[in-house]
Chains A and B, each alone.
Chain A
Amino acid sequence: MEVIAFLVPLALLLGLFGLLGFLWSLKNGQYDDLEGAAWRAISDDDEIPTTEGREPSAAHRHGV
């Protein structure tokens, strides 16, 4: 059972990566338009020219 001492912290570490991923995506503005995101996922269009589908820049997000 000594393996638990190693496995439990490892499991927590993996969970922590998930949490960091969530916090990053939140900061990145990915939850700002859930309705739009739902439609974008099933949109037939490829990338939109010139904007490359990128998220609004950081300066804007913090202003709003």
Chain B
Amino acid sequence: MQATRDFSHYVKHLGSGLAHIDLAVEGVSCAGCMSKIERGLSAIPDVTLARVNLTDRRVALEWKEGALDPARFIDRLAELGYKAYPFETVSAEAAEVENSRFLLRCLGVAAFATMNVMMLSIPVWSGNVSDMLPEQRDFFHWMSALIALPAAAYAGQPFFRSAFNALRTGNVNMDVPISIGVILALAMSIVETIGHAEHAYFDAAIMLLTFLLVGRYLDQNMRRRTRAVAGNLAALKAETATKFVGPDEISVVPAAAIKAGDMVLLRPGERCAVDGTVIEGRSEIDQSLITGETRHAAVEAGSDVYAGSLNISGALRIRVSAAAEGTLLADIQRLLDHAVQARSRYVQLADRASRLYAPVVHATALLTMIGWLIAGASLHDSIITAIAVLIITCPCALGLAIPTVQTIAAGAMFRAGVLINSGDAIERVAEVGHVIFDKTGTLTLPELDVVNSTAVPADVFELAGRLALASHHPVAAALSRAAGAKSPLPGVTEEPGQGVRGSFGGEEVRLGRPSFCNAEDLAEEILRRDPEASVVAFARGEQRYAFAVRQGLRPDAREVVAALQRRGIAVEILSGDREPAVRAAAETLGIAEWRAGVTPADKIARIEELKRQGVKVMMVGDGLNDAPSLAAAHVSMSPISAAHLSQATADLVFLGKGLAPVIAAVDYSRKALRLMRQNLYLAVGYNFLAVPIAILGFVTPLIAAAAMSGSSILVMLNALRGRRVRQEKV
């Protein structure tokens, strides 16, 4: 049965006889990759567009409708050495992109207006101290108004709207003082211009909008980027299923297109994308992603299988049940919902700052006005001074303080192999005092590895590896990978559930279960020493060998655990696996605190217990059984190989074979939080210096402009320091 691949679910039809598809591509990192991919894809006839987006790690393709099967692009990219996955833009991401564009448009308008109003303001400032005629000054002020009013009306929309929405629901957010400040400054400037006054604040109002829009845009861009990363991860994980479209006809379709009642085929070595019941076939499945248990479970007709299980030995025909009926997934989902709700109560640093800010600013302005009235100033002068206070306290640097640091830190973490899934994750990682690791797939590598390869002669190892290429069994795959085998032996036959046999140099060679190769004694010896390993036996003529295959610890796990402990962070293992396996890992890594055989609910209970003690917990896990505890923890991290649900729940996702990104995340976040705090102090401090000047009525537009741009630039320069952390040997 040859399966066809059906990607029509992802193809967009552009109408002008062109079809479009977006692919998420793994491993694109440089200009070389970019031109290699674009050249490689453009060489296919009838392709009209092939363009890589390096920021989002995606490629956009357009071709003449009907001339090509999109599966060809994926094959071509595989030939070039890149794994690609069809991509479906979710509406939330499209909305983020649109929002980013709108903010950038506002920023462009505001920046244009600021520059041109400044061009008119500087002559006024210098003219005021020399020989400018009042008519000339009025002309410059009116020109400024002409630019600033429409520009502020357009570029101020993001703030005005948000302030209006907040006020309507009876709240005050950061945008309320901003909107009031800008509108009052503009109104006062018009009144002053009509009255032929010396000072107008058009420049201050529009410059304030410009700086605030920079902060707002960086913030939004960060959100857009995390959304794009999440979207890519979803595409990389987008499971496909082999569906029966006729009695003997199969087609590979996206799992999203599978409905309850469909029949799917699950071949050995494939991961199940659906929940269902086995109708036909007999096999063993690896449920470690779901339960953490590394021992395989036997399945036959009538057994239930869950999404995420890995099929080991025989082909299965499965009837899909509705996902909601899968009791295990439903349980996990319920725990998950609960945990997510609990976490949304976290209040970001920026919000806490702004909650304090608005009442203080408005009270100061009001008191200034009352004070001047009592002191005998005219109503006009008192109002002007109060407005000057509002302008000078407008949180221009405050709006930049946090987004700039976040953007820089996210970039640095990205280069260290950490992808950020949620915007406030940086702040939360920095507060962590306790890290809980899952074992299977997190402390250990998700792939199996041969652990006793040195005990076997090299030529035998290689031969066994070549023989293993004929089997889909994951243990055999691990063997051929470890042996670096490339050329399969000819004429090899597979005996389902037993092993493979062939011949080499006139001798019969066999690879498979110890019993299949008459090597039970060798297997027993290995298992006595290492009860967690899977044994695969190899027979050549009369010679017998046995390979021990197991999940190895990540290469740098020991160093990373030690580095975390040096930073004063407690480390603990909570695993669903059996005791001996967990004990062995904990002892190797030097982790004193560990528990084996824990259920998802137990993990959450442990996290809650730590929470009650006031400890901020980071959960690092990959399995489906970890998803609820990932959501329950203060912050969570998953390897890129994790189950879909876990990755969607995790705040951070890390790439690569090592655990080093965990340390990078902690270091960069701690530094980032420190810089955010410094920036807040800088911004507030600057305002506090300027406020007394404003209250006393000495503020001129020149002082306002200098204070505003000075503090903003200082905050941005400070944020740039987040690019580096002190290098400690991990």
Contacts and interface: CB of A to CB of B under 8 A. Distances in A.
Contacts of A40: 31, 34
Contacts of A5: 139
Interface string A1-45: 100110011011001101100110010000111111001101101
Interface stretch (B100-108, B436-444, B608-616): B100-108
Given A18-B112, A33-B54, A51-B38, A23 B143 contact: no
A57 B18 contact: yes
A48 to B, nearest CB: 5
Contact of B15 (A26, A51, A59): A59
Contact of B49 (A31, A49, A51): A51
Contact of B108 (A19, A34, A45, A50): A19
Nearest to A14: B116
A55 B53 CA distance: 11
B52 A64 contact: no
A34 B55 contact: yes
A64 B22 contact: yes
A22 to B, nearest CB: 5
Contacts of B12: 60, 63
Contacts of A43: 31, 34-35
A23 B62 CA distance: 26
Q: Is the interface of A mostly helix, strand, loop or mixed?
A: helix
A12 B328 CA distance: 66
B363 interface: no
B62 A26 contact: no
Contacts of A4: 136, 139
B644 to A, nearest CB: 22
A32 B109 contact: no
Contacts of A19: 108-109, 112
B89 interface: yes
A51 B42 contact: yes
Interface string B43-81: 100011111111110001010000000000000000000
Interface residues of A, number: 37
B659 to A, nearest CB: 27
B30 interface: yes
A59 B35 CA distance: 24
B97 interface: yes
Given A51-B48, A64-B97, A15 B38 contact: no
Contacts of A11: 116, 119
B244 to A, nearest CB: 33
B120 interface: yes
B39 interface: yes
A60 to B, nearest CB: 5
A35 B89 contact: no
A54 to B, nearest CB: 7
Nearest to B135: A1
Given A8-B120, A15-B115, A60-B60, A32 B55 contact: yes
B62 A64 contact: no
Contacts of B49: 51, 54, 56-57
B104 A35 contact: no
B60 A56 contact: yes
A26 B104 contact: yes
B335 to A, nearest CB: 35
B105 A8 contact: no
A36 B48 contact: no
A57 B112 CA distance: 28
A19 B97 CA distance: 21
B692 to A, nearest CB: 36
B56 A33 contact: yes
Contacts of A8: 120, 140, 143
Residue with the highest number of chain A CB atoms closer than 10 Å, among B53, B89, B104, B119: B53
B48 to A, nearest CB: 7
B116 A57 contact: no
6 contacts: A15-B112, A40-B31, A51-B42, A56-B51, A64-B94, A64-B97
Interface of A: 1, 4-5, 8-9, 11-12, 15-16, 18-19, 22-23, 26, 31-36, 39-40, 42-43, 45, 48-51, 54-57, 59-60, 63-64
Given A45-B35, A60-B14, 11 more contacts: A15-B116, A19-B108, A26-B104, A39-B34, A43-B31, A48-B50, A50-B43, A63-B20, A63-B89, A64-B22, A64-B97
Interface of B: 12, 14-16, 18, 20, 22, 30-31, 34-35, 38-39, 42-43, 47-56, 60, 62, 89, 94, 97, 101, 104-105, 108-109, 112, 115-116, 119-120, 136, 139-140, 143, 147
Q: Which 9 A-B pairs have the closest CB atoms?
A: A36-B54, A39-B31, A19-B112, A33-B53, A35-B55, A35-B54, A59-B14, A22-B108, A33-B55
